[in-house]
Amino acid sequence: MQNMKKIAIIDYQMSNMFSVENALKHLGFEPVITSDKSIILSADGAILPGVGAFGEAMKKLKDLDLINSIKEFIKSGKPFMGICLGLQLLFSESEEFGNAKGLDVIKGRVDAFSKHREIRRIPHVGWNKILPGDSYMYFVHSFYANPIDKKAVATTTEYDGFSFCSSVLQNNVYACQFHPEKSGPKGLEILNNFFK
């Protein structure tokens, strides 16, 4: 039991942390939901989850003094994962409700699906395939991440004929627009492989 890896789930009061916590427990990790900087920095891995509006989330991270802790953790080289809004917050900026600055860990911006005429149903909700591969993951979002460095794109997904970046991998940072914790065995496999 002493070899269990401690994974900090960063609590900034804007996410469904308990489904992530349950998934990690199921995989044999030791998840800790926290906004305590010392606990985050001492963890073996960290997850930035999230549901909601980009600008409000950045304000919460600032108010809780978590921005530098997140950047410091990433600089440590330990595995860091962003999920859904947590992916988007890692980018330089978002056009959601005007323009809001992000954490700028990954250069690029978060754009609205509504800019694309071919997309008829917003938000994008439900199961969809990630490429490469044949795995289906669960999505809920109206915005998508657009990295400047296309080499950072780990997977893409097609929605209403529009292909968007559904996950990124940059050094020790993996972030996905889908919810691996809600995506069955394949989603759990992603969580397990990344933190193992």
Q: What residues are labeled active site?
A: 84, 179, 181
The domain that contains 67 carries what CATH number? Answer: 3.40.50.880
- Name which of 173, 174, 137 is nearest 158 in CA terms: 137
Residue at 1 is within a domain: no
How does the average pLDDT of the chain come out, rounded? 95
What is residue 118's predicted lDDT score, i.e. its pLDDT? 87
| Domain span including residue 55 | 6-195
What is residue 1's predicted lDDT score, i.e. its pLDDT? 38
pLDDT tens-digit map of 5-39: 999 999 998 877 999 999 999 999 999 999 999 99
pLDDT at residue 2 greater than cutoff 50: no
Residue at 58 is within a domain: yes
What is residue 136's predicted lDDT score, i.e. its pLDDT? 98
* Buried/exposed code over 34-60 (b: 16+ C-beta within 10 A; e: otherwise): bbebebbeebebbbbbbbebbbbbbeb
Domain count, the chain: 1
Residue at 160 is within a domain: yes
pLDDT tens-digit map of 124-177: 999 999 999 989 999 999 999 999 999 999 999 999 999 999 999 999 999 999
pLDDT tens-digit map of 94-118: 998 888 999 999 999 999 999 988 8
d(CA 66, CA 57): 11
pLDDT tens-digit map of 71-84: 999 999 999 999 99
